[in-house]
Every structure is written in structure tokens, then in C-alpha cells.
Amino acid sequence: MTSDGTRHGAATPGGASERAARDTAPDAGLLTPVRAGTRVERLTSDTAWARAMLDAEAALARAQARAGLIPERAAALITRAAADLTVDPAGLARRARRSATPVVPLVTDLRAAAGEAAGFVHRGATSQDIVDSAAMLVSSRALAAITAGLEAAMRPLAALADRHRDTVMAARTLGQQAVPTTFGLKAAGWLAGLLRARDRLAALRLPAQLGGAAGTLAALVETAAMEPPSPAAGAPAPQARALALVDLFAEELGLATPQTPWHADRTVVGELGAALTGTAEALGKVATDVILLAQTEVGEVAEAAPGGSSAMPHKRNPALSVLVRSAALQVPVYAWPLGRSGEHERAAGAWQAEWAPLRECLRLTGGAAETAAELLAGLEVFPGRMRANLDLTGGRVVSERLAAHLPADELAELLRGDGPLRGPDDLLDPAAYLGAARELVDRVLAAYRDRRT
């Protein structure tokens, strides 16, 4: 007993359980090991998000200097201050509670660090400009990692499809053996799904965000009206200078230029969430099939590094596949709040609700891609077991073919008997009833190679 009458180790305020909670990193991935230690986890950490917001503030200052709206020295001081500023994410989050956005306390810190350039920090922008631009910057960096993971997964998949182009196995529909296929075609189907996912990610055009208080650029137009343009620029209207600034800001960030501010039009985020969902589900398809093919009673594939069990030493669990499938099931749930339309010129709650789910979508999809690459690089394939399983039906796996050659009553009588079917060997050979399986494999591999070049 302790001095206050509680048992040692009891979960009391200030006790061991509370100390453990304080000592644990908030985004360590304990309950989402699929992304633990992956590149995308680092790119989406609290520190990475804070750094992206500082990058956006620095990019805004540089763009304004290029547009002649603030002195170049001020932009240089702000850029240096943003690069050198050390952020305590937990402290920043606590300070953000008063304004519902981390930008307000972050701008306070940046102004304090910018010295004589403090008055030029965040000039003409609103908090959502910085958060949205930072979100697109974090997403862009994470998408590069996700795409790299997909490429790493597709290389062994293409090799599997090519190597097993003629490896006959049973196709399965509704959990039952259907007709013969090849493992090469199954692998090619997985590859085609990842190709579509990669192309969809590549087609995304993530835009910067800069609209000012309510999407009119009014403060920037006012600044442009007060600051004379350089003689070389002629005399453009203040509105034109403000619009040109948006282009420069996007260029500084390496993002697309938005046609208009999208504060309350969240289709950009919705499309990103949909693309991440599709990618996770394409990876999940691979993992689900591997789990089923690796079942003890099937045994047609196995992961190279089997996962152990805390209670059953004999088990060879498909642990990597389980992690990938778990991510695929979670991403659509996290994507649900993304892309919800906001009321009027800025949402109260819907926009803020995107931040954490978007990060989880990026993390889980990136973790699934990196884990799938590891899974596929070491996947073991057992053609002998595939053939043995194919023979379990005694030739009935080609009943569709027999139906094209035998009268219906004769086929029904043939299938009714026990034991192996008796009939012409050329009709009963599963390897002779593969349709265009080989050609479909070649088509997918050609598409894969074309995209690589």
C-alpha cells in the first residue's frame, strides 16, 4: 500500500499509468505498426507539419519580395528565422486551443524571431492559407514516399507475373474452385491495380492556398495599391499584382496555382482522400489474397519471414499481409471526413476535422505500400501445391469446358459420379483451358514497362 492507501501500481492520478502516458510519444504508432518507422511516418509527424507551416510563411515572404510588395531583406530575415525556429509541437498545440488553429501561436513565435522583419510576417494571409498550403506540402512530400513504395512493390510483382506466366492454379470464386488460371495472371492483376493507383496519385495536382481573410485577396490588393511597382514591371493594376503573387507563392512551394481560393470548396482534399483510399484498397487486395493462399489447408504461397504467435509456436502467420490489410480497412474510414463542403467562405469545424484524418490516410497508405514491398520481395510460391489443389476436384475444375463439348444430360451424369472424371485427356487437362491468361499477363507487363520508360 502507498501512503494514500492505494495499492502499488494502481491507475491513480499521478501514478504509474499516468507517468507512462506522459512518457509515450503521441504519434509513436503503437497501435498502427504498419506505419511505424516508415518514411511517410517521419514526413507526416507533428514536427513535419509545423515545419511545413513555417515553409509556407517563408515562401509567402519570398513571393511578396519577388512581387515588390515587401523588401528583399525582410524576406531573407523571415526565411532564416523560419528555418532556425525550433517548435515544440505539444506546446504549440496547447496554445492553439484559444484560436482553434496552430498558425496563430506559430506566427507569434515567427514574428518574435524575425526581428526587424516582424511586421512583414504573414502579411495579407489568413490562418487557413497557411494550414491548407502546409497540408498540401506535407501531402506532396508524403505522396512521393507512397509512390516510391508502390514502385518498390511493383518490381517484384512484375517479376512474379513473368516467372509464373504458365504456373497453373485454381481460380476461386465465392471461395470455391472455379476454372484454371495461372499465378502469373493473379500477380498481374495485383500489378494492374497498383498501376492504376500510382497513375491516380500522379494525376493529382495539389494547389497552394492564398485568399486572405475571406478569399478576396483584399489585403494583398490593398498592399499592392500602397507599394509602387518597379519601373521594369510597368504599372499593373493592384488586383493583377495580387493575382500574380498567388502564382509566385505556389511556385515557391512547388505546388499548383489554384484558379480561385478554395477555403470552403474542399474537393481538392476529397480527391486526395479518394486517391489514397484507392491505393490502400489496391494494396489490400494483394494482402487479402496472400492471406487466403497462405492458409494451412491451401499452402500455395508463404511470406518469407513468418510472423510468430504468443501462444502457438507452430504458427506461420502472414504478419506483413495482416498489417497491409489492416491499413486498407482503415483508410476509407479516415477518408470519410475529407472533402466536406464548408459553409459560406470558411467552415467552422469541417475544415479543422480534416487535419488528423488526412494525416492518418497518408501514414496508413504509405505504411501499407512500404510493407507490401517487403512482403512481395520475399513472397514464396509453391507451384506443386497449386497443382495438387487443382487436382482435388478430379477434373471438375474444367466443367465449363466440358459443357461446350458434351450434351447437358451426359455432362450431368458425368459430374454426378464419384472419383476422377473420365473423358478425353485433352479436354480434362487444366493447363489446356487457360483462355487468354498468358496474353493478359503480357498486356499488363507491357503497360508496366511502358510506364517505367
* Active site members: 309, 346
Beta bridge partners of 177: 172
Q: How far apart are CA 319 and CA 321, in angstroms?
A: 5
How far, in Å, CA of 79 to CA of 21, rounded?
A: 36
Q: Which helix (H) or strand (E) holds 182?
A: strand 176-182
Return the C-alpha torsion angle 89, 94, 99, 105, nearest 10.
-50
Which of 370, 326, 389 shows the shortest CA–CA distance to 183? 389
Distance in angstroms (rounded) separating the CA atoms of residues 394 and 236: 82
The string of DSSP letters for 49-69 reads: HHHHHHHHHHHHHHHHHHTTS
Q: Return the C-alpha torsion angle 68, 72, 73, 77, nearest 10.
A: 110
To which residue does cell 491507475 refer?
Answer: 11
Task: Give the C-alpha distances (Å, rounded to integers) separating 74 from 68, 111, 162.
Answer: 11, 11, 58
d(CA 280, CA 177): 27
Contacts of 409 (CB under 8 A, 6+ apart): none
Burial class (CB in 10 A: 0-12, 13-18, 19+), 215: buried
Q: Tell me whether residue 147 is exposed, middle or buried, using C-beta atoms within 10 angstroms of its C-beta: 0 to 12, 13 to 18, 19 or more.
A: middle
Sequence-ordered list of residues with C-beta below 8 angstroms from that of 437, at least 6 positions apart, any chain: 181, 182, 184, 185
How is residue 28 annotated by DSSP?
S
CB 214 within 8 A of CB 191: no
Backbone torsions φ then ψ of 180, nearest 5 degrees:
-70, 150
What residues form DSSP beta bridges with 53?
none
Which among 268, 282, 262, 274 has a CA at the least distance from the CA of 335? 274
CA distance 136 to 134: 5
